Structure formats: structure tokens, C-alpha cells
Amino acid sequence: MKIAFVGKGGSGKTTLSSLFIRHLAACGAPVIAVDADINQHLGPALGLDEAEAAGLPAMGDRLPLIKDYLRGSNPRVASAGTMIKTTPPGEGSRLLRVRENNPVYDACARPVELDGNAVRLMVTGPFTDADLGVSCYHSKTGAVELCLNHLVDGRDEYVVVDMTAGSDSFASGMFTRFDVTFLVAEPTRKGVSVYRQYKEYARDYGIGLKVVGNKVQGPEDVDFLRAEVGEDLLVTVGHSDWVRAMEKGRPPRFELLENANRRALNLLQTTVDSAYDRRDWERYTRQMVHFHLKNAESWGNERTGADLAAQVDPGFVLGEGVAASV
């Protein structure tokens, strides 16, 4: 299952992603955690110290390796140079699985121990000013999008992405790559403004969008969120002393997390798990092709000097039944 946490800066995306990741790990589930946010804080939120976080390999620096591995022997993708972030897999492409070892994980993922269970952590690397403009070609999140589009994940396997709600993810189609998108919102006008923008994009693409209220202090906050986002409000989370202690560098054992917050995390997991039955790999593949053609036309063809529409393999559908190519 692929899960995104999005929301306004400072809303609590990283905090809630990290709690959800800890929760899944505590259940013994296989987890890949991905930091694709502008502010790269997921490593520290999972307990890494500054030096460990700074030493994580950046996916953005390893794009050639990622592209070369994923294109495999796909005859429609002649070289890594013509592979852009939206290039879809086809016959001959190599696909990623959550539980396997592969050269992409070797290069880009590092194990993080959480109360005895390890998760894999991958990070895009720090964003520069150029990443925040319209520079699609060098997009940091492009490496993540490529991986998601080549990743075949099953039930009870989790890929959790801490992500910005920026325009980059809308232009590329990144926002359509998830079974569930948790929009973290504080009970303020600014907090819900990102929801409105997201909802508009989400509606056109059938995105499973759920709002997680954060830093909620009482019934008035809940009423406010309910009035603003209606049925999309899944659950609310209040101030957590556990989180505060963790931020002081003294993380208590995860089993000591407040009961209300534990219940909230359980509900997130139930929501994700129940999305499995609504999965539609054909639509998933169709959407990646849609955004690839859009990106090809708007900048990719010109940039690579190739007709990138020819990369689309019309007979290919990503899915759990697709045989791995070696």
C-alpha cells in the first residue's frame, strides 16, 4: 500500500508520518519510509541523530543508477538519458517490490531500527532553490515518482511518503500515486486552505483523500474542521507529550504513546488496509501514462530530443501479477 502525508508547512506531516511508520513497524509490517518533503526531517523524526541523517544517501543524486536499473531491457526506453520522471514501466522494465533487495535499495535506502523492528528509509535529499521553481527536469521528487511507478506493493506492505503539497506533485502526477493520501490540517483557515486546493485536483483523479486534524485542542477545533472539510475528516490528533519528549531527544518506548493517539494510528491503518480492495491497477497505469504524455509534450520531448510518447507500452499494466524481469 502506498500512503502519502501532505499538508501545509508545519502542520505535522513529518510527525504523523513518523508515528504511522513506527506504528506499522511495531506491528511487524514491512515498511519503506520515504522523505520527499522540502524540509528533510523524517530521519530525525525516526530517531536518527544529525550526523546519521546527514549521511543518508540522496535519491536525487542517484537518478542515473535508478533509471538504468528500472529501464532494464525495456526496448522502448533506449537510454537512461531519455528516461524522465514520468516514464512508465513496460515489457522488460525492472519492477521494485517492498520486501526484496535490489540495487536501488542498496544505493538509496538505509535501515532504521525502531524498537526492534527495522524499516527502510529513503530520502530525496535537500531541496535547493532550483528545485522549488519550475525545473521539472531536475526535480528531486522525480526519483520518488519513478520508484512509485515501478513499485508493485501488496496487501500488508507499506510505502509511506512524507511529502510536500507543492505544485511539483500536481504537475507530474505524483499526487495520484497513492492508495490513501492523508492531508494533515491544523484547525485554522490556513490549515484547511491546502485541503481545498488538494481536493480540487483530487476530485478529477479519484484520489482517496482523508483529512487528519492535528494540534487539535478541543471540541471547537473538531467542529471547525468538520464544518470545513465535512466527511473527509477521518480523525483528529491532539498535542502529544510523547512527541514532545522525542523532540527533546529522549524518545520513550513507542508502546508508551498516548492511547488516543494510538487509536488514531490504528484508524489510519484500517483506512489504508481497506483501500486495498478498491485498488485498480489499470487506472493506476492509465494515470501514469496520462501524466507522462503531458510531461513529454510540455517539456520532456524538447529536453531529451526524443519522442517520449513512444515510451508507452500500450499492452502493459502494472500489478501484483506482473512477472519480475531480470
Ligand X SMILES: Nc1ncnc2c1ncn2[C@@H]1O[C@H](COP(=O)(O)OP(=O)(O)OP(=O)(O)O)[C@@H](O)[C@H]1O
Contacting residues toward Mg ion, per CB under 5 A: 13-14, 37, 39, 41
User: By C-beta, is 7 or 125 nearer to ligand X?
Assistant: 7
For Mg ion, which is the closer residue by CB, 39 or 102?
39
Exposed/middle/buried for residue 106 (C-beta within 10 Å: 0-12, 13-18, 19+): exposed
Of 212, 211, 148, 213, the closest CA to residue 176 belongs to: 148
- Helices 142-149 and 63-71 pack at an angle, to 10 degrees, of 20
Alpha-carbon separation of residue 191 from 95, 214, 228 (angstroms):
37, 9, 10
Number of residues counted as binding ligand X (CB under 6 A): 19
Asked whether position 243 contacts ligand X by CB under 6 A, the answer is yes
104/144 with CB nearer Mg ion: 144
Cell of 286: 492509465
Q: Which residues contact 325 (CB under 8 A, 6 or more apart)?
A: 72, 73, 92, 93, 94, 95
**Contact letters (x/-) for ligand X, 97-136, by CB under 6 A?**
----------------------------------------
In the bound state with ligand X, the residue whose beta carbon lies nearer, of 209 and 243, is 243
The stretch near ligand X (CB under 6 A) out of 37-45, 280-288, 294-302, 318-326 is: 37-45
Pick one of 14, 74, 86, 176: the residue that binds ligand X (CB under 6 A).
14
Contacting ligand X (CB under 6 A), which of 2, 7, 177, 233? 7
Q: Residue 325 corresponds to which cell in the numbers above?
A: 524481469
CB of 271 to ligand X, least distance (A): 18
Grid coordinates given for 233: 475528516
Number of Cβ within 10 Å of residue 268's Cβ equals 24
> Which C-beta is closer to ligand X: that of 39 or that of 117?
39
- Binding status of residue 140 toward ligand X by CB under 6 A: no
Beta strands in the chain (DSSP E): 2-7, 31-36, 96-97, 109-114, 117-123, 151-152, 158-163, 180-185, 209-213, 233-236
Tell me the closest approach of the beta carbon of residue 215 to Mg ion, in angstroms.
14
Find which of Mg ion, ligand X, none residue 243 binds, CB within 5 to 8 Å per kind: ligand X
- Closest distance of CB 282 from Mg ion, Å: 33
User: Nearest CA to 136 among 89, 203, 181, 87?
Assistant: 87
Touching ligand X, residues 181-240 (CB under 6 A): 214-215, 237, 239-240
* Interface contacts to ligand X, rule CB under 6 A: 7, 9-15, 37, 39, 41, 214-215, 237, 239-240, 243-244, 247
